[in-house]
């Protein structure tokens, strides 16, 4: 009798333990609690990386757009025109950070075997204007051109801070696009060295060489 009283609760307890072992109730909830932080981090990381690639693509398209617009000009440009291109760049990029736009016209001189700057203008905080001396540093990035040929060089720079910190650092998005003038041999700038038919062949900018407008 005493043995039965002791054995019966033990047997009942073992039965309940076996049933608990075989039970699958609450498994999904436990797994979700374990994996949900990982899934959330994965979704955030995908969004952050996608947004970075999207912003880089938008910057590049905006740079091509500005370059194409300027390449179609046949009249002399001025400061107001560059201001409008800068405003359009900001509208196209739609970035929260500071955007810099640099527009330059680069000429190749075969006699001197080097590039020269007809004019260069900057809007924004992080890029200086190109000069005949400084342009030498990027000659490997410029295209091969015939003598006295010109290209319009448009550059944009935009600093991007990722929306979430998932291992992606702050990005400095730079774009470098050159386009040949479409409807005129050059795109002059008001008051620039080529606006009245001459240009500067001296890298220090202290001498000028007269061009024959009919050449």
127-152 pLDDT tens trace:
999 999 999 999 999 999 999 999 99
Asked, for residue 8, whether it belongs to a domain, the answer is no
Answer whether 0.75 is exceeded by the pTM: no
Do 77 and 86 contact (CB within 8 A), yes or no?
A: no
Domain presence at residue 115: yes
Whether 77 maps to a domain, the answer reads yes
The answer to whether position 23 is within a domain reads: no
Ranges in the chain, pLDDT < 50:
2, 195-201, 203-215
Does a structural domain hold residue 202?
yes
Q: Which domain holds residue 123?
A: 31-206
Within-domain flag for 20: no
Is 67 part of a structural domain of the chain? Answer: yes
Alpha-carbon distance values, 29 to 5, 17, 40, 155 (Å):
39, 21, 16, 53
Quick count: other Cβ atoms within 10 Å of Cβ 178?
19
Query: For residue 203, what are the contacts with CB-CB under 8 A and spacing of at least 6?
Result: 114, 131, 132, 133, 136
Split into its structural domains, the chain has a count of 1
57 Cβ contact list (under 8 Å, min separation 6): none
15 located within any domain: no
For the chain, the maximum distance between any two Cα atoms, rounded to a whole number of angstroms, is 126
Whole-number pLDDT of residue 215: 34
- Quick one: pLDDT at residue 162? 82
Residue 122 half-sphere exposure, CB side, CA atoms within 13 Å? 11
Q: What angle do CA 30, 32, 35 make, to 5 degrees?
A: 110
């Amino acid at each position: 009798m005493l043995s039965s009283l002791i054995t019966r609760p033990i047997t009942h307890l073992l039965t309940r333990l076996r049933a608990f072992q075989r039970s699958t109730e609450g498994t999904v909830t436990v797994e979700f609690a374990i994996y949900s932080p990982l899934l959330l981090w994965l979704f955030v990381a995908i969004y952050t990386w996608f947004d970075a690639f999207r912003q880089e693509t938008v910057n590049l398209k905006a740079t091509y757009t500005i370059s194409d617009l300027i390449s179609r000009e046949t009249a002399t440009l001025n400061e107001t025109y560059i201001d409008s291109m800068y405003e359009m760049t900001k509208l196209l990029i739609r970035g929260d950070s500071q955007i810099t736009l640099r527009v330059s016209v680069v000429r190749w001189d075969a006699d001197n075997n080097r590039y020269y700057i007809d004019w260069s203008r900057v809007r924004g905080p992080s890029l200086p204007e190109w000069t005949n001396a400084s342009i030498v540093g990027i000659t490997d990035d410029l295209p091969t051109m015939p003598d006295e040929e010109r290209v319009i060089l448009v550059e944009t720079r935009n600093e991007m801070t990722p929306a979430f910190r998932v291992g992606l650092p702050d990005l400095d998005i730079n774009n470098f696009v050159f386009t040949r003038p479409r409807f005129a041999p050059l795109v002059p700038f008001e008051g620039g060295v080529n606006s009245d038919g001459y240009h500067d062949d001296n890298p220090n900018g202290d001498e000028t060489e007269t061009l024959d407008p009919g050449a």
